[in-house]
Amino acid sequence: MCALLALILMAACGNIQTYAAGQVFFWTGMNGIAYVLQVFIADTSKLKNRMILFGFTTTPYISNTFAGPAAAQSILEGSTWRWGFGAFCIIIPVMCAPVIFVFAVHLRKAKKLGLIKEKSDADRSRTWWQSIKYWVIELDVLGVLLCVAGFSLLLLPFSLASYQGDKWRSGTVISMLVIGVLCLIAFPLYEKYMAPKTFIPFTLFKNRNVLVACLLGGNRWVSFYCYKLYFSSYLQVVYNLSISEAGYIVNIYSIVSCAWAVPVGLLIRYTDRFKWLALISVPLWILFTGLLIKFRTPGTNVAYVIMCEVFTSLAGGTLAQIDQIAVMASVPHRDVAVALAVLALVTAVGGAIGQSISGAIWTNTLPGLLRNYLPGDLKANATIIYGNLETQLGYEWGSPAREAIVRAYGETQKYMIIASLASSAVSLIWVSILKNERLSDKQQTKGVLF
């Protein structure tokens, strides 16, 4: 329902505020769907076989990756962007219907078998206000708000500061940073001393493999988004590719990592261990991220960029599997659902940090480079050119203006990849302290995770 509501909001939006609200609901819904599937699989499979099934759940991304760019270009040329969102208001309910039906059938069976507790008399007698209070406490709403507000207000200024007249001296930017830091300081204090229920079970971090897996996952997404956020526009501007061609290259990560997920699951199943895969994948990720500094420059054959994308995708897809199996193998079966949720939270924060770093480099570097490199008669239009991809692509390929834009893009990308490489290097520490556990030694019973 969250995803459906989000798509309706985005299709009908008339301002950026409505679109932003739609994005919040959309990712809440989509992440919720992915999480429910993970918990369902974890609750119905043996630990050694689990990553094979996790891998199968990612295989639809392969076909979607090919269909997506073509569909985007078709909608853009033959309709409006609103229909791009509106179409999925129909597609998502239809595609989710079989899974919803299966869950409904098994929920009914579980109730008949007495596996699910019925509501107590106290629960039934709660008033509307008491129910709100109950769920506010159970879901630790104040803790969630402090955490979300803290990270949002701390990270947003990195992208927004360049748009302010006084840059980092702007009162808005300073206020956001100060309030963000205060919220992040208040969050752990509130969770430890005041919260009746905490939404993050901090005791999980006492387990070394849970902590390492979270750090490894968060670190990987910092590195990933440092250079990936503006990749599509880079390909269109620097290599003169169409939207669909750029989309296929951008989506190499989805194609390769998802196709590779099942073989990784089989390797984990038959070797009974997972650390050896991490020891191969982390250096591979770092190596090919570093090679992008050389290959993702104007004038380089795009095939070299594709090569690096393929190998980082193999490494990234493997590490995603390792993160999940590491946390699931390290906790009792009843805590698997919570451990997966914590891992998802930390990796999401890592992604947000990576996007903030990328946005900060982009917004603080590209406009200045455009002003430096554009021909004299276009320097006054640097801000307009910076803010509009269609304007950038409108300059003829090989013209002085286009060459200046390409050069500015190339230098900006170099800084972003260096940031990605620096952040990925830290992963060597995390993988070195990951426990080399044998999965067959772990006894996990099947049952209701909650």
Could you tell me what percent of the chain has a pLDDT over 90? 21
Is the pLDDT assigned to residue 97 strictly greater than 80? Answer: yes
Tokens 């009914």, located at residue: 108
- With bands split at pLDDT 50, 70 and 90, how would you rate the model's confidence at 289? very high
Is the pLDDT assigned to residue 127 strictly greater than 80? Answer: no
Report the distance separating Cα 358 and Cα 423, nearest Å: 12
What does the pLDDT read at residue 121? 60
Q: What is the mean pLDDT of residues 263-281?
A: 91
pLDDT tens digits, 21-44: 777 778 788 888 888 888 888 877
Q: Based on the number of CB atoms within 10 Å of its own CB, is 224 exposed (0-12), middle (13-18) or buried (19 or more)?
A: buried
Report the distance separating Cα 15 and Cα 21, nearest Å: 10
Report the distance separating Cα 296 and Cα 417, nearest Å: 9
Q: What is the mean pLDDT of residues 424-432?
A: 91
Q: Please state which architecture CATH assigns to domain 203-437.
A: Up-down Bundle (1.20)
Is the pLDDT assigned to residue 76 strictly greater than 80? Answer: no
Domain residue spans in the chain?
140-198, 203-437
Report the distance separating Cα 249 and Cα 155, nearest Å: 28
Alpha carbon distance, N-terminus to C-terminus of the chain: 22
Q: What is the mean pLDDT of residues 74-84?
A: 71
- With bands split at pLDDT 50, 70 and 90, how would you rate the model's confidence at 151? confident
**Any idea how long the chain is?**
450
Global pTM reads 0.82
Is the pLDDT assigned to residue 7 strictly greater than 50? Answer: yes
Calculate the average pLDDT of the chain: 84
Q: For residue 32, what are its two tokens?
A: 């919720």
Is the pLDDT assigned to residue 442 strictly greater than 70? Answer: no
If you write DSSP's letter for every residue of 6-19 in order, what string do you get? HHHHHHH--SHHHH
**Phi and psi at residue 354, in whole multiples of 5°?**
-60, -40
Identify the three-state secondary structure at position 237: helix
- With bands split at pLDDT 50, 70 and 90, how would you rate the model's confidence at 123? low
pLDDT tens digits, 245-257: 888 888 888 889 8
